[in-house]
Homo-oligomer: A and B are copies of this chain.
């Protein structure tokens, strides 16, 4: 089974430059097979970190500078389902069967300062529990459900290093 097309956008965060959370959002999106993430501001350091991960571990995950509104417009034009993650939304487990009918998604990762418009423009407002926790965790579980676990098997092309899974210890293979 191929993966569905997933893009991610971050909206309404208090800390535009929360470097660690941004990095986690980028790397989780990439590791779980998303194609790109849209961020309002992309600092050089973040772009370099993600570029280095691509070069070392493979794939061509993209960090795109752009406003959420632009990402939403592109998604509508592409026929992507817009899934806004918010603790106020309807339970993921109730929506998942409907969501899986779509082939491509824009997942909007919300924060404390999301404009009301995001709720109205999204096709789905989805809650990964109605408890406060982490946008990184909510994103991960949502992608995992949309892709039905297939994302964990993704093979990244054009890598320099590859981990050989092992029950104890660390094995890393270098591409020759």
* Identical chains in the assembly: 2
A176: interface (CB < 8 Å) = no
Contacts A18-B20, A168-B119 given: A133-B88 contact, CB under 8 Å? no
A133 B20 Cβ-Cβ under 8 A: no
Q: In the assembled complex, which residues on chain B have CB atoms less than 8 Å from the CB atom of A5?
A: none
- Size of the chain A interface, CB-CB below 8 angstroms: 54
Q: In the assembled complex, which residues on chain B have CB atoms less than 8 Å from the CB atom of A132?
A: 27, 31, 53, 57
State how many angstroms separate the Cβ of A153 from the closest Cβ of chain B: 7
State how many angstroms separate the Cβ of A150 from the closest Cβ of chain B: 9
Tell me the residues in window 123-146 of chain A with beta carbons closer than 8 Å to chain B beta carbons.
124-125, 127-134, 136-141, 144
B129 A24 Cβ-Cβ under 8 A: no
